[in-house]
Amino acid sequence: MSSLLSIGAELHQLRLQRLKPKWRTCDIGHSKTIEISEKAGVHIGSITWEGSLILLSYLQEHLIEEKTSRLNILELGAGVGYLGIGLLATFPQLTVTLTEKGSIENQLLQENLDCNSSL
């Protein structure tokens, strides 16, 4: 019985560790970095997906800076906000709206927006 309690206590500690935000500095190119908070293992929207990294890189290469002032970007299910924040850091003249419905993801998204508000 004590070994089961020990295993339960260990699993509980691991879960608590997952719930702690982990900050990472992301180099988004153009001599800019952003700070992103993630909670790995909590929900699928609480981490930065590789697809976000690839899409941001693609858009940075293919969006023409003169035309971005006329673009309105809507990101549905922004998760931690890497893509939208990265676009704003690269093209400050863009209008970007980020949405997220999950409460944990909303909290992370707001933390990340606040942390990168100087961009």
pLDDT tens string for the chain (119 positions)?
A: 566 667 777 766 666 666 566 888 888 887 889 999 988 777 788 888 889 999 999 999 888 877 777 889 999 999 999 999 999 999 998 999 999 987 888 889 999 999 999 87
* Separation CA 99–CA 92 (nearest Å): 19
pTM of the model: 0.79
SS3 state at 107: helix
What is the 8-class DSSP label of residue 44? G
What is the 8-class DSSP label of residue 20? S
Residues linked to residue 24 through DSSP beta bridges, in sequence order? 36
pLDDT for position 86 = 95
pLDDT for position 88 = 92
